[in-house]
Structure 1
Amino acid sequence: MVNTSKHYDNFECNAFFPINCNRIVYFSNFTISYYHFKKYNIILEKLIVKENSLVIQNINDDKKNNI
Protein backbone atom coordinates (compact mmCIF):
# COMPACT_ATOMS: atom_id res chain seq x y z
CA MET A 1 0.00 0.00 0.00
CA VAL A 2 1.29 3.49 -0.92
CA ASN A 3 1.36 6.21 1.71
CA THR A 4 -0.37 9.26 0.20
CA SER A 5 0.09 11.64 3.15
CA LYS A 6 2.32 14.65 2.59
CA HIS A 7 5.69 14.23 4.29
CA TYR A 8 8.17 17.07 4.67
CA ASP A 9 11.80 16.15 5.00
CA ASN A 10 14.28 18.31 6.92
CA PHE A 11 15.30 20.33 3.86
CA GLU A 12 11.78 21.54 3.12
CA CYS A 13 11.12 22.47 6.76
CA ASN A 14 14.44 24.29 7.04
CA ALA A 15 13.77 26.16 3.80
CA PHE A 16 10.48 27.62 5.08
CA PHE A 17 11.79 28.56 8.55
CA PRO A 18 13.70 31.75 7.49
CA ILE A 19 10.77 32.89 5.34
CA ASN A 20 8.37 32.63 8.28
CA CYS A 21 10.82 34.38 10.61
CA ASN A 22 11.22 37.15 8.06
CA ARG A 23 7.45 37.63 7.91
CA ILE A 24 7.19 37.83 11.70
CA VAL A 25 9.95 40.45 11.89
CA TYR A 26 8.45 42.44 9.00
CA PHE A 27 4.94 42.59 10.45
CA SER A 28 6.15 43.35 13.98
CA ASN A 29 8.30 46.22 12.65
CA PHE A 30 5.35 47.49 10.61
CA THR A 31 2.99 47.55 13.60
CA ILE A 32 5.55 49.24 15.86
CA SER A 33 6.33 51.86 13.21
CA TYR A 34 2.65 52.49 12.50
CA TYR A 35 1.70 53.12 16.11
CA HIS A 36 4.83 55.17 16.78
CA PHE A 37 4.12 57.39 13.75
CA LYS A 38 0.47 57.73 14.76
CA LYS A 39 1.49 58.86 18.26
CA TYR A 40 4.11 61.27 16.88
CA ASN A 41 1.62 62.70 14.38
CA ILE A 42 -0.91 63.41 17.14
CA ILE A 43 1.78 65.16 19.21
CA LEU A 44 2.83 67.19 16.16
CA GLU A 45 -0.76 68.26 15.46
CA LYS A 46 -1.19 69.38 19.07
CA LEU A 47 2.04 71.35 18.86
CA ILE A 48 0.95 73.09 15.64
CA VAL A 49 -2.42 73.99 17.14
CA LYS A 50 -0.72 75.27 20.28
CA GLU A 51 1.74 77.39 18.29
CA ASN A 52 -1.05 78.83 16.13
CA SER A 53 -3.08 79.78 19.16
CA LEU A 54 -0.03 81.40 20.74
CA VAL A 55 0.58 83.43 17.60
CA ILE A 56 -3.03 84.59 17.55
CA GLN A 57 -2.79 85.43 21.24
CA ASN A 58 0.41 87.43 20.69
CA ILE A 59 -1.17 89.36 17.81
CA ASN A 60 -4.17 90.18 19.98
CA ASP A 61 -1.92 91.27 22.83
CA ASP A 62 0.05 93.53 20.49
CA LYS A 63 -3.15 95.19 19.27
CA LYS A 64 -4.23 95.84 22.84
CA ASN A 65 -0.88 97.35 23.73
CA ASN A 66 -0.80 99.62 20.67
CA ILE A 67 -4.27 101.06 21.20
Structure 2
Amino acid sequence: MNANAFTNWRKSTYSSGNPQQCIEVGEAPGLRGVRDSKLGVTSPVLAFKDSAWSEFVAMTKSGSLDR
Protein backbone atom coordinates (compact mmCIF):
# COMPACT_ATOMS: atom_id res chain seq x y z
CA MET A 1 0.00 0.00 0.00
CA ASN A 2 1.21 3.50 -0.74
CA ALA A 3 2.53 5.45 2.25
CA ASN A 4 0.63 8.52 1.01
CA ALA A 5 -2.65 6.76 1.87
CA PHE A 6 -1.73 7.07 5.56
CA THR A 7 -1.60 10.16 7.79
CA ASN A 8 -0.50 10.98 11.33
CA TRP A 9 2.70 8.92 11.15
CA ARG A 10 4.25 8.55 14.62
CA LYS A 11 7.25 6.66 15.97
CA SER A 12 6.97 3.86 18.47
CA THR A 13 7.60 5.04 22.03
CA TYR A 14 9.82 1.98 22.45
CA SER A 15 12.09 3.28 19.70
CA SER A 16 12.91 6.59 21.35
CA GLY A 17 16.18 5.38 22.90
CA ASN A 18 17.52 3.76 19.76
CA PRO A 19 17.03 5.80 16.57
CA GLN A 20 18.47 2.99 14.45
CA GLN A 21 15.57 0.64 15.21
CA CYS A 22 12.42 2.70 14.77
CA ILE A 23 9.06 1.91 13.31
CA GLU A 24 6.28 4.34 12.55
CA VAL A 25 2.55 3.76 12.57
CA GLY A 26 0.18 5.72 10.33
CA GLU A 27 -3.59 5.89 9.96
CA ALA A 28 -5.98 5.47 7.05
CA PRO A 29 -9.74 4.80 7.15
CA GLY A 30 -10.10 1.36 8.74
CA LEU A 31 -6.37 0.63 8.54
CA ARG A 32 -3.06 1.06 10.30
CA GLY A 33 0.19 1.20 8.36
CA VAL A 34 3.63 0.27 9.70
CA ARG A 35 6.90 1.35 8.10
CA ASP A 36 10.62 1.60 8.87
CA SER A 37 11.32 5.17 9.98
CA LYS A 38 14.94 4.96 8.82
CA LEU A 39 13.65 4.75 5.24
CA GLY A 40 10.96 7.39 5.75
CA VAL A 41 8.51 7.87 2.90
CA THR A 42 10.42 5.39 0.70
CA SER A 43 9.79 2.54 3.16
CA PRO A 44 7.39 -0.22 2.17
CA VAL A 45 4.22 -0.11 4.26
CA LEU A 46 2.57 -3.09 5.92
CA ALA A 47 -1.16 -2.45 6.23
CA PHE A 48 -3.39 -4.00 8.90
CA LYS A 49 -7.12 -3.73 9.51
CA ASP A 50 -7.93 -1.74 12.65
CA SER A 51 -9.30 -4.86 14.35
CA ALA A 52 -6.11 -6.86 13.69
CA TRP A 53 -3.95 -3.95 14.87
CA SER A 54 -5.98 -3.57 18.08
CA GLU A 55 -5.63 -7.29 18.78
CA PHE A 56 -1.87 -7.14 18.17
CA VAL A 57 -1.47 -4.17 20.53
CA ALA A 58 -3.56 -5.88 23.24
CA MET A 59 -1.53 -9.09 22.95
CA THR A 60 1.72 -7.13 23.10
CA LYS A 61 0.63 -5.22 26.19
CA SER A 62 -0.51 -8.43 27.92
CA GLY A 63 2.85 -10.11 27.30
CA SER A 64 1.33 -13.04 25.42
CA LEU A 65 3.75 -12.48 22.54
CA ASP A 66 6.84 -12.55 24.76
CA ARG A 67 9.28 -15.33 24.06
TM-score (norm 2): 0.24
Q: Which has the higher helix share?
A: 1
Q: Which has the higher strand share?
A: 2
Larger radius of gyration: 1
TM-score (norm 1): 0.24
